[in-house]
Structure 1
Amino acid sequence: MFCLTLSLWAFQRSESFPEATISNGLITAKLYVPDAEKGYYRAERFDWSGVITDLQYRGHSFFGPWFDTHDPKVNDAITGPVEEFVAIGYAAANPGETFLKIGVGALRKKDTTAYRFYHSYENTNPGHWTTRVGKDEVTFVHELSDAAGYSYHYEKTVRLLPNKPVLVLEHRLKNTGTKTIQTNVYNHNFFVLDRQPTGPDCRVTFPFALQTQGETQGLGTLAAVEGNTWRFLKELGPGESTQVFLTGFGTTAKDYHLRVENKSVGVTVTGDQPLSRIVCWAKRTTFCPEPYIPIKAEPGKEFRWNIQYTFFAKK
């Protein structure tokens, strides 16, 4: 699924990028700040905001680089619980016209082939980003006007709750244009738990019986889906990856409840919207449950959603 060549956390940062650090006394998190000229991530796949490069709790780490080398223009060179909005208006656009990626900008369609997240597209209108940094929270604001006919005001706040090992992603998308904004968004959750390799100690548990759907990669040799759990059969080696599409969830937000863990630490992830899709993908250096939700905002209306991460340590 990803094109980067990986080894086990050989990444060394050679550049400095705009960043912010927040803490609530229990958790300390370092985030990169969106910047169209100097930002850590300037590619076209993921929302530029909320990129957590490091999160520490009780001496344990939960996010970080999972790749060998970094290039701000590589679509997958990003870290933390980052989000991708499914492209809007791509099918209707002619080659040379633009389509919308929320949190990125207006991108130019190259040809008549289907949209491919691993391809680069010219960002003709990246909009305007502002960032407000507090002691225990960061708010990112993206204003975009006349992007493939769409306009919006998008806010994401990364907040650490007082006296709790909890991080919340708070989102508000206001449609300031004349076209309805309707798509799906998911969090890729690039978990890097204590920099341990993906293997039998790693698992993700859901609150419902899992069913696989469509094509799979590495299922039965590298990973397994058993009952309500996605787990790994061996320690993944360099170049090995596994992917599975999952269903079995219901129509309410109660099924957006994941327990992600290895032998030393874990995270409980909950959302306040119903699921529309689940993809699970892993390589040696990261394992990623990817829950999707549908979003819709009519002109003049707004859509809000939250995702909460509760961190715990076993040792």
Structure 2
Amino acid sequence: MLKSLLSVLALGVAVGAGFAADGPIAEISNGLVRAKVHLPDGRTGFYRGTRFDWAGVVSDLEYSGHNYYPRWFDRVDATIRDFVYEGASIAASPCTAVTGPAEEFRTPLGYDEAKPGGTFVKIGVGVLRKKDAAAYDSFHLYEVVDGGRWSVRKTGSAVEFVQELSDAGSGYGYLYKKTVALTKGQSQMVLSHSLKNTGKVAIRSTVYNHNFLYLDRRPPGPDFVIRFPFEIRGAEVPPMAEVRGKQVGYTKILSGEDRVQMAVSGFGAEAKDYDIRIENKAAGAGVRITGDRPLSRIFLWSIRAPLSVEPFVNVEIQPGGEFSWKIVYDYYTLPTDRR
């Protein structure tokens, strides 16, 4: 069914605790997997920050009795830069308050060239206003000058997003398509993307997926293991983590304000190394994440709530050119550890 074009309005400065209400959503299912897919809306959307792509924010994906992407924060506060601990609760900023596989085009387009008060482009968000001469800050909530033209089409097991945007001031323009689809007969979700450069300037950025995995609300700890297809080399291993050949594990359950973050190195120049497995032996569940483009970086970020393995891919598109990429999520179960 074709939904009407969504009106994406300028983002206001005042953002209250109700900012993370569900807003418009599409619920999809293939009989094995079901998920909520949040739709872009500048007034009532679940995510209205200027950091992550507004298309295809996923939450509460359920498979075989497991919830992979429940909400990991308790409230949203515009006075917070990233997130803060409040006893047993976590408060997040509008730019961080997102769930599930959440993608960000890390490098904004035209920011350095824009003068204070001028405009620049954040793919998947829109044309933003540069506030001052300070360096770009992905945690800052920028004014949305033009959210572009969004269209959304939903079927029972998929949602397709299209964003068309042009910024005469910077010369950037694009046609961005993204589909979130559950594969028929499989416990699998596929994110398919294409980005066409319709502007006058080359698009150069890096896109990564934050992958806010919060499996059954279990904090990262020794029951989790992260597997890669390559030997991990040269990594600076932080406290509470350990590297074992091709694996990263935890030496304790993260609690309080514990944080484990590290760059993961050792991958090669081929897409076959974009192959990540995250398993929890106590829950008896896991997910495999594969991509069809070579990696440029992998980063692990984890706190007492989500465990995020972030794969990065470089994007360079000349005017008139197009770039496509795909990420596949396979959800599975395994024998539980009944110690």
Task: Report the TM-score when normalising by structure 2.
Answer: 0.84
Distance in 1 between the 2:126 and 2:260 partners? 31
Q: Could you report, residue by residue, the CA deviation over 1:221-264 in whole angstroms, capped at 9, with x for unpaired residues?
A: 22223322121111101222121112211111000000011122
Pairwise mapping of residues 150-229 of structure 1 onto structure 2 (< 5 A)?
A: 150-212=172-234, 219-229=237-247
User: Quick one: which amino acid aligns to residue 210 of structure 2?
Assistant: H
User: What do you get for the CA RMSD once the two structures are aligned?
Assistant: 1.9
Deviation of 1:94 (Å): 2.3
CA distance in structure 1 between the aligned counterparts of 2:246 and 2:114, rounded to whole angstroms: 40
Q: Distance in 1 between matches of 2:65 and 2:274?
A: 28
TM superposition shift of 1:63: 0.8
* 1:251-262 → structure 2 map (5 Å cutoff): 251-262=269-280
**Aligned equivalents of 2:278, 2:267: Cα separation in 1:** 17
| Alignment-derived partner of residue 75 in structure 1 | 95
- CA distance change for structure 1 residues 71 and 302 in 2, over 3 Å: closer, same or farther? farther
Q: Retained in 2: the 8 A contact 1:207–1:258?
A: yes
In the alignment, the residues of structure 1 paired with residue 178 and residue 47 of structure 2 have an alpha-carbon distance, to the nearest angstrom, of: 16
In 2, the alpha carbon distance for the partners of 1:250 and 1:162 equals 32
Extract unaligned runs of 5+ from structure 1. 1-10
Check if 1:49 corresponds to 2:55.
yes
Counterpart pick for 1:266 among 276, 281, 286? 286
- Aligned to 2:31, what secondary structure does the other structure show? coil
Shift of 1:158: 0.4
Q: Distance in 2 between matches of 1:94 and 1:228?
A: 46
Q: Which runs of 4+ in 1 moved over 3 A?
A: 11-16, 70-73
Q: Decide whether the 8 Å contact of 1:211 with 1:247 is kept in 2.
A: yes
Give 2:266's aligned residue.
Answer: 248
Question: Quick one: structure 1 residues 220 and 43, their matched pair in 2 at CA, closer, same or farther if it must change by over 3 Å?
Answer: closer
The offset of 1:92, in angstroms, is 2.2
3-state SS, counterpart of residue 272 of structure 2: helix
Q: Structure 1 CA distance, aligned partners of 2:250 and 2:18?
A: 28
* Mapping for residues 113-124 of structure 1, pairs under 5 Å: 113-124=134-145
Paired letter, 2:264: L
CA contact (8 A) 1:152 1:174 kept: yes
Q: Which amino acid counterpart does residue 258 of structure 1 have in structure 2?
A: I
Structure 2 counterpart of 1:296? 316
Amino acid at match of 1:267: V
Following superposition, the deviation at residue 71 of structure 1 comes to 5.7
The corresponding residue for 1:283 is 303
Q: Is contact 1:60-1:313 (8 Å) kept?
A: no
Whole-Å separation in 2 of the counterparts to 1:279 and 1:196: 20
For structure 2, which runs of at least 5 residues remain unmatched after alignment?
1-16, 79-92
Deviations 1:170-217 (A, max 9, x none): 00111111111121100000001111111111121111111345xx6x
TM-score under structure 1 length normalisation: 0.91
Note the alpha carbon deviations across 1:112-135, whole angstroms, 9 max, x for none. 332222122122111121111101
Residue aligned with 1:247, SS: coil
- Cα distance, 1:39 vs structure 2: 0.6
Count of paired positions? 301
The range that moved more, 29-38 or 90-99, is 90-99
Q: Distance in 2 between matches of 1:77 and 1:261?
A: 24
Give CA deviations for 1:132-187 in whole Å, capped at 9, x if unaligned: 11011000111111163211110100011110111100001111111111211000
One-letter amino acid of the structure 2 residue matched with residue 92 of structure 1: E
The answer as to whether partners of 1:212 and 1:245 remain within 8 angstroms in 2 is no
Distance in 2 of aligned mates of 1:265 and 1:106:
40
Q: AA paired with 2:105?
A: F
Of 232, 238, 251, which residue of structure 2 is paired with 1:233?
251
Q: CA deviation at 1:28?
A: 0.6
More deviation in 173-182 or 277-286?
A: 173-182
What's the % identity of the aligned pairs?
47
2: CA distance, partners of 1:80 / 1:14: 14
Query: Quick one: distance in 2 between partners of 1:262 and 1:12?
Result: 33
**Corresponding residue SS for 1:254:** helix
- Superposition pairs for residues 1-20 of structure 1, below 5 Å? 15-20=21-26
Aligned residue for 2:117?
A: 96
Aligned-pair CA distance for 1:30:
0.9
